[in-house]
Structure 1
Amino acid sequence: MIRKVSLIALGSVLLSGCFNVQTSQAPIATTYPLTTQQKMQAAHHWDVLAMHQAEQIMSNELLLARPLYISEDQATSQFTQAFGSLLTSHLVSRGASVKTTEANSLSVSFTVQAVKHKDRGYVRAPQGALTALTAGIAVATIPYNKLSEPALTLIPLAATADLFSGNWTSKSDQEVIITTQVTDRDRILYSTSNIYYINGGDHDHYQSRRVTPTRTVNLTNNW
């Protein structure tokens, strides 16, 4: 028996010398390291982004003491209309010179690209999530065995929910990419992009509103 095992092992070693081990005819799918991405769910989140962009613009040395102009032509969706107003307010409150005309000023523009994934697949929970959940369930069952009043058994579970509920959000297959730029004619002086998850029902907030063209009718008194 030992002789047969030795012969098999020897054959495996000899074969490994003839062929490369750990090879594949195509790349093996793998995942990225764990990352997080915020989810926009309120107009307040638009205001937070506008405040952040104003801070970044005001701290850029290339933009210091330069007048800025935010075009109203970009107000093509609910988000862009609100974001333009919010960004203007935060810039002015920080001492920026914001003009109502484009002449002799830097142009501030922003674009929004909505993305909808059609085959997102399963998004697994981060490492340790199942262990934490199991531990929470185990702790929640203790009062059921120790306390005589059934209503008291809900207290630890409610306390745990209150502690972690702010971190919970639903999975989404829709995202938006928001890019803010400051240009001087044909030169880009500042550019930054931010990506957020959005709720499926909020998709139209970031879509351009189509303006129905008006039809001109000529009126005459000739019959």
Structure 2
Amino acid sequence: MGFTARPLTALASGLLLAGCAIPYSPVPVATNFASTQQAKLQAAAHWGVIARHMANELRPTLQSAPKRPLYVMPLQASAFSKGVATHLVTALVNDGFVVLKTPEAGSLKIELDTQVVAFSKDRPQYRYVGLPSTLASGAWVLTGIDHSAEWLGTAAIYTYDAYRWFTAQFAPGATPKTEAIVTLSVADEARYYARTTSVYYTSDEDRALYDAALQPSKTFVVKDH
């Protein structure tokens, strides 16, 4: 009796699970994307990193196109847009391109467009995996050795350093709700020649650096004479 009950239980469980996956639905079933990684901007130096990355992406197109001077034009007035534009001019000049201070007829415009989006504050907080296995593997490596107090202290330091080494690529803190969509376009009046788009996390506390709408406004007072 006990032997036959197990297959029956498994069959019943399978039928129950199969019944949950309905073959027809009035709307698409929500699913997750495959896991990806997205860089988090946390310093002005990171603005230079992404500017050089975009310059490298555009270099093949600019080198193969007819030689025309370039003009970098940020479309937003945020500190981020201005900073990236400055880094981009530096990268292009260092690559040997002619970059104008003001646009001229016949030049190619490099438009820098930044869109800041904010999602709900209660975003899923998926973190890296591997902490238990890292610590477990460290404990496994240390077995079979005479453990003095000094040795255990040294081993703990090296284990912690190894843990920080393997997890250093992950940004600390909660998943930000603020993201920046950065698009770089090379165009003239008639057509686009190249275009690249990247998305980055930004610290929620630093949103004013990325969102032009949050830049402090200047007030001018006109005095009557």
Q: Distance in 2 between matches of 1:135 and 1:58?
A: 43
* 1:48 alignment counterpart: 49
Decide whether aligned partners of structure 1 residues 41 and 161 sit closer, same or farther in structure 2, where only a CA change above 3 A counts: same
* Cα separation, partners in 2 of 1:34 and 1:58, compared to 1, 3 Å: same
Change (3 A) 1:125 1:23: farther
What is the TM-score with the length of structure 2 in the denominator? 0.75
Change (3 A) 1:63 1:201: farther
Provide the C-alpha distance between the structure 2 equivalents of 1:58 and 1:155, rounded to a whole number of angstroms: 45
The amino acid across from 1:54 in the alignment is A
Question: What aligned pairs does 1:83-98 form with structure 2 within 5 A after superposition?
Answer: 83-98=84-99
| Cα distance per residue 1:45-97 (max 9 Å; x no partner) | 211111122223331056441111124x7461211221111111111111111
**Structure 2 letter corresponding to 1:76:** A
Structure 2 residues without counterparts, runs of 5 or longer: 5-10, 12-20
Q: Which residue of 2 aligns with 1:152?
A: 154
Mapping of 1:2-151 within 5 angstroms?
22-60=23-61, 63-71=65-73, 74=75, 76-104=77-105, 105-118=107-120, 120-125=122-127, 129=129, 132-141=130-139, 143=142, 147-149=147-149, 150-151=152-153
1:30–1:217: structure 2 CA closer, same or farther, 3 Å change rule?
same
Tell me the distance in 2 between the aligned counterparts of 1:108 and 1:98. Answer: 10
Change (3 A) 1:146 1:32: farther
Report how many residues are paired: 201
What letter matches 1:136 in structure 2? T
Instruction: Using the TM superposition, give the Cα deviation of residue 25 of structure 1 relative to its aligned residue in structure 2, in angstroms.
Output: 4.6
Q: Percent identity?
A: 25
Q: CA deviation at 1:176?
A: 0.5
Work out the CA distance in 1 between the residues paired with 2:57 and 2:124.
36
Query: 1:75–1:84: 8 Å Cα contact kept in structure 2?
Result: no
Go from structure 1 to structure 2 and tell me whether the alpha carbon gap of 1:210 and 1:133 turns closer, same or farther (over 3 Å shift): closer
**Which of 181, 186, 189 is the matching residue for 1:185?**
189
Query: Aligned equivalents of 1:121 and 1:162: distance in 2?
Result: 25
Secondary structure in 2 matching 1:59:
helix
Distance in 1 of aligned mates of 2:123 and 2:42: 23
Deviation at 1:123, TM superposition (A): 4.0
TM-score, structure 1 normalization: 0.75
How far apart, CA to CA, are the structure 2 residues paired with 1:21 and 1:74? 48
Give the residue type in structure 2 aligned to 1:177. Answer: I
Q: Do the aligned partners of residues 93 and 24 (structure 1) sit closer, same or farther apart at CA in structure 2, a change above 3 Å counting?
A: same
The amino acid across from 1:184 in the alignment is: D
Q: CA deviation at 1:216?
A: 2.1
Q: 1:151-174: CA deviations, max 9, x gaps?
A: 234134223224213222132221
Check if 1:203 corresponds to 2:207.
yes
- Amino acid in structure 2 at the alignment position of 1:52: H
Deviates more, 1:22-31 or 1:140-149: 140-149
**d(CA) in 2 for partners of 1:118 and 1:58?**
37
Matching residue's letter, 1:102: P
Point out the more displaced range, 79-88 or 164-173: 164-173
Asked which structure has the greater CA Rg, the reply is 1
Unaligned runs of 5+ in 1: 3-8, 10-19
CA RMSD of aligned residues (A): 3.2
Residue matched to 2:223: 217
AA matched with 1:70: V
- In the TM superposition, residue 175 of structure 1 has moved relative to its aligned partner by 0.8
